[in-house]
Amino acid sequence: MDSTEDGSQGVLVDLSDVSLADLPELDQSAFAWSLRRILEEVDRPRDAVAGWNSAM
C-alpha cells in the first residue's frame, strides 16, 4: 500500500492481529522494547514534538 498526498498509510507496519501475549515479559530485545513503547503511546497518546538532534 502506497502513501501519497492523499494521506494513505504507505510504509507503516500493520499491527493488526498481533498478539503480545506470547512476547516473553523478560524479552529485552530492541524489538520488544519498541512494541511496548508504541502500545503505551497508543494507549496514552501525547502530542509529540521533535527535539534538536545535536544534543543527547
Partner 1 sequence: MTVPGDGRGAAVADRPAPARPVPFSEFILKVHSRCNLACDYCYMYELADRSARTDPPRMSPEVFARTCWRIGEHVRTHGLDAARVVLHGGEPLLVGAPALARMADRLRAAVRPATARITVQTNGTRLDEPALSALVGAGVRIGVSLDGDRTANDRHRRYASGRGSFDQVDAALRRLADRPEAYAGILCVVDLAADPLDTYAALLAYRPPVVDFLLPHANWESPPARPDGDDTGYGRWLARVFDAWYDAPVRRTRVRLFEELINLLLGGASRTESLGLSPVAAVVVNTDGGYEQVDTLRSSYPGAVDTDLTVFAHSFDEVLRHPAVAARQAGVSALAAGCRACPVHRVCGGGNYPHRYRAGSFTNPSVYCHDLRLLIDHVAGRLRADLVGLRGRDG
**H-helix or E-strand containing 36?**
helix 30-43
- How far apart are CB 16 and partner 1 at their closest, in Å? 4
What residues numbered 3-42 form the site for partner 1, per CB under 8 A?
3-5, 7, 9-23, 28-31, 33-35, 37-39, 41-42
- How far apart are CB 43 and partner 1 at their closest, in Å? 9
Contact 9, 1 (CB under 8 A): yes
Taking CA 48 as the corner, what is the angle to CA 43 and CA 52, rounded to the nearest 5 degrees? 145
Phi/psi for 37 (5° steps) reads -65, -45
Residues in contact with partner 1 by CB under 8 A are 2-5, 7, 9-23, 28-31, 33-35, 37-39, 41-42, 45, 47-56
